[in-house]
């Protein structure tokens, strides 16, 4: 089973892209603290979750993200093998945002998953 749950703050606004077949993808870096250390984790959301992330998330927002850990590998211009970890999110919980896109009457905490 490959499930990862992390919480952190977005390092930039979500960046939307669309595949040639029309699949909506949103990517953003998530700053995560692990004890005294911290690191950046790339997060990708697809379809409906991507739409919601693009609409409501922003740089600095604190979230909890759940999904599968994936590793991308490629060869750079200097012919070196490079790799990077990415979380393919299936669920996002909004912990703290500045309220963009939210009705002021709604609670601060919102949970969104692919099933919704």
Q: Output the CA–CA distances (angstroms, integers) from residue 4 to 64, 105, 106, 112, in the order listed.
A: 10, 32, 28, 16
What is the full per-residue pLDDT of the chain (116 aa) written as tens digits?
789 999 999 999 999 999 999 999 999 999 999 889 999 999 999 999 999 999 989 999 999 999 999 998 999 999 999 998 999 999 999 887 665 544 445 544 455 555 55
SS3 47: helix
- Asked if the structure places residue 115 within a domain, the reply is no
DSSP-assigned beta bridge partners for residue 110: 94
Taking the model in full, what pTM does it have?
A: 0.79
CATH number of residue 98's parent domain: 2.40.50.140
- Asked if the structure places residue 108 within a domain, the reply is no
The residue segments making up the domain with residue 36 are: 4-103
d(CA 3, CA 98): 28
* Total number of domains in the chain: 1
d(CA 14, CA 94): 14
- Tokens 């919980």 sit on residue: 93
């Amino acid at each position: 089973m490959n499930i990862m749950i992390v919480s952190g703050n977005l390092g930039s606004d979500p960046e939307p892209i669309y595949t040639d077949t029309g699949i909506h993808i949103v990517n953003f870096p998530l700053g995560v603290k692990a004890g005294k250390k911290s690191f950046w984790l790339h997060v990708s959301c697809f379809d409906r979750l991507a739409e919601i992330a693009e609409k409501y998330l922003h740089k600095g927002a604190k979230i909890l993200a759940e999904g599968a850990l994936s590793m991308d590998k490629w060869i750079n211009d200097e012919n070196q093998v490079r790799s990077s970890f990415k979380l393919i999110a299936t669920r996002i919980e909004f912990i703290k945002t500045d309220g963009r896109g939210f009705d002021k009457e709604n609670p601060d905490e919102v949970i969104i998953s692919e099933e919704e």
